[in-house]
C-alpha cells in the first residue's frame, strides 16, 4: 500500500543529466582499486559538490518566470547551462557549501576528518 504523502518521481527525472553523471561516477568508482580511489577521493568529493551546486542553480533558475520580452531561445538555455556549470565549479573550488568536506570525512575516515 502506498501512502498518500509519498511522491513518485517522473520518469524524466530518472534519466536526467545529473543522474547520468552520478551513475557514471559511481560505476567508475566501483571499477577502481582501493589505493587509487583513496588518492582521488578529495577530487571526487569536490566534483560531487560541484554537481550538487549546479543542480541547485538550475532549479533556482527554473523558479524565475520568463517575461517573454526578450527570448534567447535554445542559445540562451545553452549559455545559462554552461554559465551555471562554471559557476558551480568555481563555488566548489572556493570552499563551496561544505558538502565536499562532509563527504570526505564520512568516506575517508580519520585521515580526512577535521581535528
Task: State the DSSP string of 22-82.
Answer: HHHHHHHHHTS-HHHHHHHHHHHHHHHHHHHHHHHHHHHHHTSPP-SSS--HHHHHHHHHH
Q: Residue 10: what pLDDT? A: 55
Phi, psi for residue 59 in degrees, rounded to 5: -70, -35
Q: Residue 91: what pLDDT? A: 94
Does 42 map to a domain? Answer: yes
Domain that holds residue 87: 21-59+73-111
Query: Per-block average pLDDT, block size 10, for the chain (115 residues)?
Result: 50 61 67 64 91 94 82 85 94 91 84 64
Does 67 map to a domain? Answer: no
Does 12 map to a domain? Answer: no
Does 100 map to a domain? Answer: yes
Does 46 map to a domain? Answer: yes
Does 95 map to a domain? Answer: yes
Q: Residue 6: what pLDDT? A: 46
The tally of domains found in the chain comes to: 1
Does 6 map to a domain? Answer: no
Q: Residue 2: what pLDDT? A: 47
Does 65 map to a domain? Answer: no
Amino acid at each position: 500500500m502506498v501512502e498518500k504523502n509519498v511522491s513518485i518521481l517522473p520518469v524524466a527525472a530518472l534519466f536526467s543529466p545529473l543522474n547520468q553523471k552520478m551513475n557514471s561516477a559511481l560505476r567508475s568508482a566501483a571499477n577502481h582499486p582501493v589505493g587509487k580511489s583513496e588518492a582521488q577521493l578529495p577530487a571526487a568529493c569536490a566534483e560531487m559538490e560541484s554537481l550538487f551546486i549546479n543542480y541547485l542553480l538550475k532549479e533556482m533558475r527554473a523558479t524565475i518566470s520568463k517575461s517573454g520580452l526578450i527570448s534567447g531561445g535554445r542559445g540562451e538555455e545553452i549559455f545559462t547551462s554552461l554559465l551555471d556549470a562554471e559557476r558551480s565549479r568555481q563555488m566548489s573550488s572556493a570552499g563551496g557549501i561544505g558538502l565536499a568536506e562532509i563527504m570526505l570525512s564520512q568516506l575517508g575516515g580519520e585521515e580526512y576528518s577535521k581535528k
